[in-house]
Amino acid sequence: MGRPVIGIATQTLPGKPGGDLPTCWIMGQRYVESLRSVGALPWLIPLLPDDPDTMRGIFDKLDGIFLTGGVDVDPSRYGENRHPKCGATDPDRDAIELMLLEHAQATGKPVLAVCRGIQILNVAGGGTLYQDVTAMVPAAMKHDYFPTSAQPSRSYLAHEITVVPDSLLGSLLGESIVPVNSMHHQAIKDLAPGLKPTAYAPDGIIEAVESTVSNFCIAVQWHPEELTDTQPGMKRLFTSFIAAAA
């Protein structure tokens, strides 16, 4: 059996004035390594929303879609004005990931999404986002444990989640209470039709969803790629995704 090809949309890195660094497309190595380690062929996808023929040619060669963390989803995508706490956005990345999700739904290709990935998945289905959890949900706990010089680890277990037991996620993680890392300031507000919540933070913020219409479509708000070496359930998220893609 051949190794399944997994598509990962890149993100725009703007060029620096003076030409020292041209505009680039980038993606974190940890995502690629997590997929490669379980037998996938990772394919980094350029952001060419104005070239549908090229994008279709790439999409047709993929066996699965992996949606990663990154900058905020542009609020215009879900019909809202920009909140002062909304961060940087990447319209080209939004466009390509929405195209990828449309392709996955049309062809039945499996999807695994993390952090920003759960957010763009929700937006693609017609849902909305809290543009900043702290500002818009007064009762919310701290979710934005971004690495600092004092706490540089991306695997820091910030809080626990409660997992819905009769879900695919529950069967993969194998526990109803799971500690996770947390590096986000946005989250699902209005859940899209076609998605069901499968995990919650202690404050009620949705931490995971699954599709009710696709064979394999799991999205989580945390970063499981940073926890695969310490939590077997996180590794099973990736191995089951690759098995579905194969």
**pLDDT, tens only, 135-182:** 999 999 999 999 888 877 999 999 999 999 999 999 999 999 999 999
CA angle, residues 62, 206, 142, in degrees to nearest 5: 115
Average pLDDT estimate for 118-144 = 97
State the chain's maximal CA–CA distance in angstroms.
Answer: 56
Q: Using CA atoms, how far apart are residues 66 and 30, in angstroms rounded to an integer?
A: 13
Q: Which residue, among 108, 107, 100, has the nearest Cα to 124 in the 3D structure? A: 100
Cβ atoms of 120 and 144 closer than 8 Å: no
Q: Report the alpha-carbon distance of residue 71 to residue 194 in Å, rounded.
A: 25
pTM: 0.96
Q: Write down the pLDDT at residue 36.
A: 97
- Give the catalytic positions in this structure: 115, 223, 225
Lowest mean pLDDT across 20-24, 92-96, 97-101, 164-168: 20-24
pLDDT of residue 18 exceeding 80? no
The answer to whether the beta carbons of residues 8 and 42 sit under 8 Å apart is yes
Residue-level pLDDT at 214: 84
* CB hemisphere CA count around 75 (13 angstroms): 16
Which phi and psi angles does 31 have, rounded to 5°? -60, -45
Is a pLDDT exceeding 70 seen at residue 1?
A: no
Secondary structure of residue 232 in the 3-state scheme = helix
Give the residue-averaged pLDDT of 104-126: 97
Mean pLDDT of 87-103: 97
Q: Could you give all domains of the chain from N- to C-terminal order, each with its CATH number?
A: 5-245 (3.40.50.880)
